[in-house]
Amino acid sequence: MNKQPAIIIGAGGHAKVVLEALLRSDVTVIGLLDVDEERHGSLVLGVPILGDDNMLDLYPADSVRLVNGLGSTQDLSRRASLYRNFKEKKYSFASVIHPSAIIARDVVIGEGAHIMAGVILQPGVIIGCNSIINTAASVDHDGIIGDHVHIAPGVVLSGNVCIGERTHVGTGATVIQGITIGSEAVIGAGAVVVRDIPDRVTAVGIPAKVVIK
């Protein structure tokens, strides 16, 4: 296991949850970064906000692992851009796995992915880089989650579901078996998806219907 210390980029709500998971996993967290100067020097769960992203000039890429603390409600572009920018600077991102998550032995988890408290990942699941599988979500057998995806709290994905990159699946949504959801789509909270959803649309309701193209 990589023992390098971590720095979290961002200090908002998702960053706080991620920090808790890291601390429970005995990962050394040097601090968090935030653009709000008024927060610099304050503490989150006892860990300092060091400053803004320029603080990374003090930490060479081979000395720390980064953690993407930006969450999302619908638009994943900012989170994806941050990940790509720092990868170009040769930094690596730590994958965050809460100790309470239940993960089958053959699950593949991409760099920088976040597997939060109470998550269940069944056999054959693949989680893409920089994706969030949030609190108490479940991905059943052979699910494929693309890069930079957010599976929000309480989502249920049945077996053989495929989710394209930069897609947001809202809180409490359910996707039945064998469904494919395209890239850059938004699935509304509580939706029940019973048919495939194309790229770059918003779908809501029970059953889910496309409302924005």
Residues identified as active-site:
141
Spatial neighbors of 101 by CB under 8 A, at least 6 apart, are 115, 116, 117, 118, 119, 120, 121
| 37 CB burial (10 A radius; 0-12, 13-18, 19+) | exposed
Looking up tokens 């893409």, which residue turns up?
Answer: 128
What is the number of alpha carbons within 13 Å of residue 169 lying toward its C-beta? 37
